[in-house]
Structure formats: structure tokens, C-alpha cells
Amino acid sequence: MEYVIEPPATPSLPVGGGAGNANAGADARFPVRRIYCVGRNYAAHAREMGHDPEREPPFFFQKNPDALLPSGSQFPYPAASRDVHFEIELVCAIGAGGSGIAASGALDHVWGYAVGIDMTRRDLQGAAKKLGRPWEAGKAFEHSAPCTPVHPAGAVGHPAEGRIWLAVNGEIRQEGNLKELIWTVPEIIEQLSALFTLAPGDLIFTGTPAGVGAIERGDVMTGGVEGVDTIEIEVA
């Protein structure tokens, strides 16, 4: 078979060996098929966005895999926005697919974990919300998914508690704990796999704690999830 144009490269992330051991994977890569994101999954963040966390089931949106940006890279300030926000998130990497996965067995489908930032053109997202339109312009733009290497669950376990934080220029802006997740990783996989067939290579950004805010050119974002990894991205 011959393609009529050069086929695009498979997006991928490096594989790490656990927190503080990012190079252990050598040349190994985790290929990425889809990126799912969970909306409003920490109560305090749902409230800061004007919603009642007690009443809303989880909902999902997607980013494109080619929007991944490795930790240590520069994030080019995107076009068409003047209000670009950070959202630090635990990222779950799927190693075994399926649909209709029960929460009780969901962790068997997880290959590992990473730390990501769900970069958001908040002004475009806000306009879309107001008009009842899709969120792609706010969420799925180029470089909108900075992410660390993926660490195998064998090295980092299945983190269900631990500090999650983000600082801008050294000043803490987001601070939370994984145990505050409204929907846990197994519950997210159960709900997501009721809507879509999950497959190896899927990433799930699991939601952000309170404190989201805007960045400007020249800012340096650092963040992390205790026991998983830390991420650093400079805004260019």
C-alpha cells in the first residue's frame, strides 16, 4: 500500500521509571491514541467555575494526541486568546482496552500515570459555553497538552491520594490532593468506557483542583503529583 501523502507520525510520550527516575525507560515510548479529559472533577474547582459539584455527573471532552508537549518544553502562547489558563492534572494511561468496564476491575486496564497540564483558552471556552457550542477551540489547540513521561503502575502504583500542585514563577497557584477527586480513576474508567471503547494508548486527564488562572509570556509553570512526577513548562 502507498499513502498519497506522508502519513503523520504516531504521537507518543517517553516512559519513565517512577518519580525521580524519569530516564529509566531509555528509548521506550508510550504511543498515544486518544486524549480524554474529565471536566470539573474536584469540588472546589467546580465551585470556582460556577457549578454545584453535588449535582453533576462527570462529563468528558477530548484533546488531539498531536497537542502533546513534553515536560521541559516551551509552550508557545496560542493565537486567538488573551486568557490562557493552566489546569494541573493526574493523567492515567490505558494499557488494555475495553468497553463497559466495571470500576472494580478498571485498574487492570491502566498501564501507568503521568502529570499533565490541560491548557485552556478560557475566553474561547467561555464564549462556547455561553452559546452552547463545542469546546474544541478552547481546549484542543496546538501544544495544549503538556505532559511528563508515563510511569508504569509497577513503579508508581495506582495513586489515590497525594498532593497535586502547580506554581507559576515559584508561587503556588493550585493545591489539592488526589483524594479530593469527585470521581476516582476506576469510576472515571467505568463511566468513560460506557460511552467509548477504550484502547491501549488512550490517555485520560482526570481533572484539576481549584486555583486555575492565566499565564503570560515568560512565565514558568511547575507542578506535580506526589509520587508520580513533576512538570516544568515555560510560556514563550
208: contact with Mn ion by CB under 5 A: yes
| CA–CA–CA angle 51, 36, 218 (5° rounding) | 80
* Contact residue for Mn ion among 87, 190, 202, 229 (CB under 5 A): 87
Looking at the Cβ atoms of 124 and 155, the one nearer to Mn ion is 124
Kindly tell me the burial class for residue 156, based on how many C-beta atoms sit within 10 Å of its own C-beta (0-12, 13-18, 19 or more): buried
d(CA 205, CA 14): 17
- Supply the minimum distance, in Å, between the C-beta of residue 31 and Mn ion: 23
Is 229 an interacting residue with respect to Mn ion (CB under 5 A)? no
* Cα 68 from Cα 37, distance rounded (Å): 13
- Of the two residues 15 and 182, which places its CB atom closer to Mn ion in the complex? 182
Helix (H, G, I), strand (E, B) or coil at 197: coil
Q: Which of residues 128-187 bind Mn ion (CB under 5 A)?
A: none
CA 112 distance to own-chain centroid: 13
Q: How far is the CB of 62 from Mn ion (least distance, A)?
A: 12
Task: Say how many residues touch Mn ion, by CB under 5 A.
Answer: 3
Choose the stretch contacting Mn ion; rule: CB under 5 A; options: 141-149, 172-180, 202-210, 212-220. 202-210
Tell me the per-residue interface mask from 45 to 74 with Mn ion, x by CB under 5 A, - otherwise.
Answer: ------------------------------
**Quick check: 191 binds Mn ion (CB under 5 A)?**
no
Interface with Mn ion, residue 202, by CB under 5 A: no
Which residues have C-beta within 8 Å of that of residue 109, sequence separation ≥ 6? 94, 95, 96, 97, 98, 101, 189, 198
Whole-angstrom distance, CA of residue 225 vs CA of residue 23: 18
List 35, 40, 118, 135, residue binding Mn ion (CB under 5 A): 118
Note the residues at the interface with Mn ion (CB under 5 A): 87, 118, 208
